[in-house]
Amino acid sequence: MENVGILGFGKYVPERVMTNADWEKLVDTSDEWITTRTGIKERRYAVDGQGTSDLAAEAAKKALADAGLNPEDIELIILATCTPDYRVQNCSSLVQKKIGAVNAACFDIQAACSGFIYSLTVGRSLIQTGMYKKILVIGAESVSRLLDMTDRNTAILFGDGACAAVMGEVEEGYGIISSYMGTEGVDDGTLRIKAGGTMYPATVERVLNKEIYLEMNGTDVFKFAVKALPFATKEAAKKGNVDLSTIDILFPHQANLRIIEAAAKRLRIPMEKVYLNIHKYGNTSAASIGLAIGDALEEGRLKKGDLIALTGFGAGLTYGSLIMRWSK
Ligand code: UT7
């Protein structure tokens, strides 16, 4: 079995900053409420004319440069997103065109905020089977485009961004050690966009009823998350025979600071070992864990040899965790 890890990494956030003060002007909310209930101070929104594929392409170009590879070297692009540019066609093929990865096959993974973990897991398997040698895995979202900007319960949480990882063989002792993926299927509006798919095609009435926007039962998602994150992390640790007390940095999905704190407590991982950047970007769904990795790299906090755990949850309801020894 090859040691599969990350050869190059990149991240991108759009320029437009949306602060809590900006939200105060739109809905009945306050910086104090948002900060204490979520930990979020600001988020980034894609600017006019920017689609998810544009954010993804920017992150991808940085990851390729970091890996010292050309776009033509990539054999497969896996893009995790629940906010693709178009309902049909895959968003990864748009990225292929934008970066010139002419030799790559492309598909998207829709596992919402768990998507980056799912995609790294699939990428690792496809390299281990010998099918591909260089895979580009991306997590990218423009959630801001699908928010009801009058709904203070949901809209204040989310932001846009992208992360990208070039995957390939790494030296012995490094790379992905184990991963775990789980799903607790629901069909009740816990977290979804109801209209615009095949069950409830978009009609003028559904658009006017705002059914084309993200709906969420925050309390139910919260309860699910505080159980799912520690469960997935423990399962991944068990599969990899990893003692969680040896983890150097935990990279949780940045959805809510209180969820992260509860999960860390259940895992007995001190908060000093938990990477946080939720205050800067809010919840960026499939991009969130990768944006955290990207920031940790830029700060020099994540270094070669560090043992890290990624853990996330999202619509579906999906959840998962992945453990690796950083190889760059
Ligand atoms: O990637 C996965 C995506 N989703 C999540 O991770 C969401 C998980 N859930 C959460 O993060 C939390 O449940 C929320 C942040 C969404 C809500 O926090 P909460 O502590 O569970 O608040 P709540 O829903 O129980 O609401 C408490 C109060 C309510 O007022 P009343 O009914 O007590 O008068 C809400 O209407 O806070 C009110 N409220 C707000 N007030 C000011 C809800 N949103 C806001 C707001 N500003 N933005």
| Active-site residue, 279 included | no
- Angle subtended at Cα 306 by Cα 305 and Cα 311, rounded to the nearest 5 degrees: 135
pLDDT of the residue at 1: 67
Q: How far is the CA of 205 from the centre of ligand 1 (A)?
A: 27
| Active-site residue, 103 included | no
| Active-site residue, 253 included | yes
Domain boundary among 129, 154, 172: 172
If asked whether residues 136 and 198 sit together in one domain, one would say no
CB count in 10 Å sphere of residue 82: 24
If asked whether residues 13 and 73 sit together in one domain, one would say yes
User: Letter for the amino acid at 27?
Assistant: V
If asked whether residues 155 and 18 sit together in one domain, one would say yes
- Annotated active-site residue in 90, 256, 277, 283: 283
3-state secondary structure 13-51: CCCEEEEHHHHHHHCCCCHHHHHHHHCCCEEEECCCCCC
Confidence band, pLDDT 50/70/90 cuts, at residue 328: confident
pLDDT of the residue at 51: 98
- Annotated active-site residue in 113, 163, 256, 277: 113
If asked whether residues 165 and 257 sit together in one domain, one would say no
User: CA 328 to CA 326: how far, in whole Å?
Assistant: 6
Mutate to test the pocket of ligand 1, among 116, 153, 158 (most ligand atoms within 8 A of CB): 153
**Angle, in degrees to the nearest 10, between helices 91-99 and 52-67:** 50
Q: How far is the CA of 215 from the centre of ligand 1 (A)?
A: 13
If asked whether residues 63 and 32 sit together in one domain, one would say yes
Domain boundary among 145, 172, 199: 172
If asked whether residues 233 and 120 sit together in one domain, one would say no
Domain boundary among 156, 172, 188: 172
Residues 168-184: b if buried by 16+ CB within 10 A, e if exposed:
bbbeeebbbbbbbbbee
If asked whether residues 72 and 194 sit together in one domain, one would say no
Output the residue whose Cα is nearest ligand 1's atom 26. 153
Output the residue whose Cα is nearest ligand 1's atom 42. 29
**Angle, in degrees to the nearest 10, between helices 288-298 and 115-128:** 80
Q: How far is the CA of 220 from the centre of ligand 1 (A)?
A: 11
Rounded mean pLDDT of 186-194? 96
What does the pLDDT look like over 19-33, one tens digit per residue? 999 999 999 999 999
The atom of ligand 1 lying closest to the CA of 219 is 13
Closest to 98 (Cα-Cα) out of 141, 58, 140, 136: 58
The CA-atom distances, in angstroms, between 110 and each of 141, 164, 230, 297 are: 11, 16, 22, 26
The atom of ligand 1 lying closest to the CA of 259 is 11
If asked whether residues 183 and 208 sit together in one domain, one would say yes
Output the residue whose Cα is nearest ligand 1's atom 8. 222
Q: Does position 196 have pLDDT exceeding 90, yes or no?
A: yes
Confidence band, pLDDT 50/70/90 cuts, at residue 189: very high
Confidence band, pLDDT 50/70/90 cuts, at residue 244: very high
CA atoms within 13 A on the CB side of 287: 37
Confidence band, pLDDT 50/70/90 cuts, at residue 201: very high
Rounded mean pLDDT of 169-192? 97
If asked whether residues 242 and 162 sit together in one domain, one would say no
Instruction: Provide the number of structural domains found in the chain.
Output: 2
Q: How far is the CA of 203 from the centre of ligand 1 (A)?
A: 29
Output the residue whose Cα is nearest ligand 1's atom 20. 37
If asked whether residues 121 and 234 sit together in one domain, one would say no
What does the pLDDT look like over 299-326, one tens digit per residue? 999 999 999 999 999 999 999 999 999 9
The atom of ligand 1 lying closest to the CA of 255 is 6
Residues 49-65: b if buried by 16+ CB within 10 A, e if exposed:
ebbbbbbbbbbbbbbbe
Pocket around ligand 1 at a 6 A CB cut-off: 29, 33-34, 37-38, 113, 152-153, 156, 216, 218-219, 221-222, 225, 255-256, 283, 314
Confidence band, pLDDT 50/70/90 cuts, at residue 2: confident
Sign of CA dihedral 140, 144, 147, 152: positive
Confidence band, pLDDT 50/70/90 cuts, at residue 186: very high
Q: How far is the CA of 218 from the centre of ligand 1 (A)?
A: 6
If asked whether residues 152 and 199 sit together in one domain, one would say no
What does the pLDDT look like over 39-68, one tens digit per residue? 999 999 999 999 999 999 999 999 999 999
Compute the mean pLDDT over every residue in the chain, rounded to the nearest whole number.
Answer: 98
If asked whether residues 144 and 21 sit together in one domain, one would say yes
The CATH number of whichever domain residue 107 belongs to comes to 3.40.47.10
User: CA 277 to CA 291: how far, in whole Å?
Assistant: 8
Q: Does position 272 have pLDDT exceeding 70, yes or no?
A: yes
Q: How far is the CA of 226 from the centre of ligand 1 (A)?
A: 15
Q: Containing domain of residue 221, as a range?
A: 177-325
Q: Which two tokens stand for residue 179?
A: 């991963």
- Annotated active-site residue in 20, 91, 163, 253: 253
What does the pLDDT look like over 62-88, one tens digit per residue? 999 999 999 999 999 999 999 999 999
